[in-house]
Amino acid sequence: MDKKFSAFLEIARTLNEHNIVPILYGSLGFYHLINRQSDEISDTDIVVPNLYVTDKFEELKTIMISIGYKQDKDYPHEFSKGESPIGFEPESDLLDLKINTANLKITELENAKFKELSLQDYLKVYKRNLQTHEPKVMRIKKKIEVIEKMLK
The string over 68-95, giving b where at least 16 C-beta atoms fall within 10 Å of a residue's C-beta and e elsewhere, is: ebeeeeeeebbbbeeebbbbbbbbebbe
Instruction: State pTM to two decimals.
Output: 0.84
Determine the pLDDT at residue 134.
80
SS3 113: strand
Q: Which amino acid is at 5?
A: F
**Measured on CA atoms in the order 123, 125, 131, 135, is the torsion positive or negative?**
negative
Query: Which distant-in-sequence residues (6+ apart) come within 8 Å of 53 by Cβ?
Result: 60, 77, 88, 89, 90
Fold of 3-118: Beta Polymerase; domain 2 (3.30.460)
CB atoms within 10 A of CB 104: 19
- pLDDT for position 87: 94
pLDDT band at 137 (very low <50, low <70, confident <90, very high): confident
